[in-house]
Copies of this chain bind each other. A is one copy, B any other.
Amino acid sequence: MVIMHRLNKETIYHLLEADPEKPGAGRILDVCILMLIVANVIAVILESVEGLYIPHATFFQAFDIFSVAVFTVEYLLRLWTCTANPDYANPVLGRLRYAATPLAIIDLLAILPFFLPMFIPLDLRIMRALRLLRVFRILKISRYSYALKLLGRVMKAQVHVIGVLIFILVLLVVITSSLMFFVEHDVQPDDFANIPTAMWWAVATLSTVGYGDVFPVTPLGKALGGLIALLGIGMFALPAGVLSSAFLEEIQKNGGGERGNSSHSRSPEEVVDLLERLALLREEGVLTDEEVAVQKQRVLGDGG
């Protein structure tokens, strides 16, 4: 058939690839997959409501099988066509390297939980945990989402800073929970049974969530807890502040790129400035006529 005839590897590759300038058919395909991902997430959420799941179990199961079928075909097609990308040109090694990219791993995790029980006998608890993994199908959106790509870029750029901050947070949690364990253990042997238990208090306090299920009751514990709140929260807020700044910077960098052409072109004053300087340098024998001509071209060509 004609359609089949046109569906060679390169065409499929470009259809699947998220590319803002790709042809209409590819865009429609993108939208369909996106909608299927969103529908899957909604299905996972609704399935958890017993009153909804039990009467419509067959529908939910059918939808799951349909989704996995589509996602499997999508995954296999991506794996088959990835050799069209010069980076993964090698039929075996290239495909393996492609399968190891974060996006491909997400695609695999989206379908694996469905197939795994067919090959390996699993007990019910693990089966249920596998079903949980379906919610991560939402991560398939990252292939299409500017927001997640932006977040990923921020995380990558700030990975060093985030590491520093997580280290400080862990230190803070360990020290404060140890202190509070020693102070409150005798009075509240359940809530501060041991340091790991006291960490629940430390995290709830330092993050300012403060559920109120655990809190110091002795005067010393309250004084210490108050001090920890006063001093620790400043430090706990560091990641948020750093991430905010990094996020904003990244966004402005992107936005700046779009407006860059006009705002970075030389103003008339700057053009005059450069021209007069070249004239002077020629006059004084620093630059030859040819060199001046070359520079003039650059100045006029850039923003004249």
Contact = CB atoms under 8 A, between A and B. Distances in A.
Nearest to A51: B194
A226 B161 CA distance: 21
A239 B243 CA distance: 11
Interface string A232-276: 011111111111110110010000000000000000010011111
Contacts of A104: none
Interface string A193-208: 1111011100111011
A277 B274 contact: no
A66 interface: no
Interface residues of A, number: 88
A76 interface: no
Nearest to A247: B238
A209 B195 contact: no
A212 B182 CA distance: 23
A304 interface: no
Contacts of A27: none
B274 A269 contact: yes
A2 interface: no
Contacts of A195: 44-45, 48-49
A229 interface: yes
Count of identical protomers in the assembly? 4
In this complex, which of A48, A171, A181, A245 has the most chain B Cβ atoms within 10 angstroms of its Cβ?
A: A48
B269 A275 contact: no
Contact of A207 (B135, B198, B208, B212): B208
Interface string A138-175: 10010001111011000000000101111111010011
Nearest to A213: B215
A284 B277 contact: no
Contacts of A226: 199-200, 203-204
B238 A244 contact: yes
A281 interface: yes
In this complex, which of A209, A211, A242, A269 has the most chain B Cβ atoms within 10 angstroms of its Cβ?
A: A209
A44 B266 CA distance: 58
A280 interface: yes
Contact of A147 (B167, B209, B248, B295): B167
- 6 closest A-B pairs by CB: A241-B244, A237-B240, A209-B210, A212-B212, A147-B164, A203-B226
